[in-house]
Amino acid sequence: PEFISVSNLADVIGVRPANFVSRMEDMGFEDVHYDHVLDAETAGLVAAEFNYEAIFDDGTADLTAAPPPEDASDLPTRPPVVTIMGHVDHGKTTILDWLRKSSVAAGEHGGITQHIGAFSVPMPSGKMITFLDTPGHSAFLEMRRRGADVTDIVVLVVAADDSVKPQTIEAIKHATQANVPVIVAMSKIDKEGCNPDKVKQDLSVHGVHVEDYGGDVQAIGVSGKTGAGMIELEEAIGALSEMLDHRADTECNAEGWVLEASTKSYGRVASALIRRGTLRPGDIIVAGTTWARVRTLRNEAGVAISEATPGMPVEIDGWRDQPAAGTEILQAPTEQRAKEAVDYRLERSETVKMGEDMAAINEARLEKR
Ligand code: GTP
Ligand code: MG
């Protein structure tokens, strides 16, 4: 902005407005009021009095996402992203294993999911669906904190012999805040002592109203052991995603999110979910304060692929530094632009930090008077 009010500038610098005004009057400004608007030059002058150097930021150094399309109806469809959530040990990975006909759960260290697992599977209709398996919810909450609502559907897994537990409630909160439709999978229905009716009752206490309990959320009893209910669950997910009809531009600059980052024998990699555009080897991308010239793209099976399109989980290498989970990925036209954006972001975070330190010092100085 080219103008700033006295009170906003005081805010930015971190000084109480009353102290700020009297300091301005000491500088020779007359009849200063909180609402007075200062032009950039004057604001810079006043800021200098507080040992701040004003940088005139026209916002062009950073990379930003393109605005969402006004009308998406002509764009190609993309796979929906389904996130499996629920309390620890309630059978999330087992359900996913069944859906992709593999057995990750058995091989997991101590049976606990360690990373966000992401993969796409074709539904009986032939349509692809992308599934995310979350370890607890911390990585996911971090993503939401950064404004990334990556999921289109939540499958809430509740063990029928254990019912609603703290992480179940957290998952419900997450789905509600993100305004995402929920399908309930009541797992372990093969077990003795399981009580699906109690699950339904407990869920309604927490605002999830299933069919027969005053709502329209589907609740399906499943067993990873016998396979009972699994086809029904698969159909429910398929039908809901068919109805939601998600579409995304595949021709614009690539955008996405880092799901998690790690180091493998062939270097630093990040698993990512593409949101818009098409990512190809050789493309240049920025994520937070690091960037990459994509060397290889791999699918979840580790097979090199020539492009990644919206809704597709993909592993990206070629990173200068390890990107952070939950950061947004944006394509840059050139390496030069990528470096510029990273420099800008580093400087900005430095300035914010310095600003906080300076504000504390100034405050202390003003208090002393
Ligand atoms: P975390 O990733 O640690 O949160 O667990 P999870 O929710 O992914 O659970 P997981 O699928 O790893 O299953 C936990 C345990 O419950 C394992 O020992 C499974 O074999 C068992 N289990 C999962 N589903 C069923 C089921 O339908 N019936 C029975 N009997 N056991 C199940
Ligand atoms: Mg798991």
Ligand 1 contacts CB of residue 91 (under 6 A): yes
pLDDT at residue 317 is higher than 60: yes
Distance 311 CA to ligand 1 centre (A): 27
Least confident of 94-108, 269-283, 296-310: 94-108
Tell me what pLDDT residue 140 has.
66
Q: Determine which residue's CA is closest to atom 14 belonging to ligand 1.
A: 89
> Between these two residues, 355 and 263, which has the higher pLDDT value?
263
pLDDT per residue over 197-247, tens digit each? 999 999 999 999 999 888 999 999 999 989 999 999 999 998 998 888 899
Tell me what pLDDT residue 274 has.
95
> pTM for the whole thing?
0.78
Ligand 1 contacts CB of residue 168 (under 6 A): no
Residue type, 56: F
Tell me what pLDDT residue 277 has.
97
pLDDT per residue over 320-366, tens digit each? 999 988 889 999 999 999 999 999 899 877 766 666 665 665 555 55
Q: Which of 65, 74, 76, 128 is nearest to 248 (CA)?
A: 76
**C-beta neighbour count of 133 within 10 angstroms:** 20
Q: Determine which residue's CA is closest to atom 29 belonging to ligand 1.
A: 188
Distance 325 CA to ligand 2 centre (A): 18
SS3 163: coil
pLDDT per residue over 25-72, tens digit each? 999 998 899 888 888 888 989 999 998 887 766 667 889 888 888 888
pLDDT per residue over 136-180, tens digit each? 555 666 676 666 678 899 999 999 999 999 999 988 998 898 899
Ligand 1 contacts CB of residue 134 (under 6 A): no
> Which among 85, 88, 92, 94 is the best mutation to test ligand 1's pocket, defined by most ligand atoms within 8 Å of the CB?
94
Ligand 1 contacts CB of residue 93 (under 6 A): yes
CA distance 267 to 254: 22
Ligand 1 contacts CB of residue 87 (under 6 A): no
From the CA of 157, give the closest atom in ligand 1. Answer: 7
The number of C-alpha atoms within 13 Å of 186 and in the hemisphere containing its C-beta is: 24
Ligand 1 contacts CB of residue 155 (under 6 A): no
Tell me what pLDDT residue 226 has.
92
pLDDT band of residue 123 (cuts 50, 70, 90) is confident
Tell me what pLDDT residue 331 has.
98
Sheet holding 128-133, edge to edge: 117-122, 128-133, 81-86, 153-159, 182-187, 219-221
Ligand 1 contacts CB of residue 167 (under 6 A): no
Q: In degrees rounded to 5, what are phi and psi of residue 70?
A: -70, -40
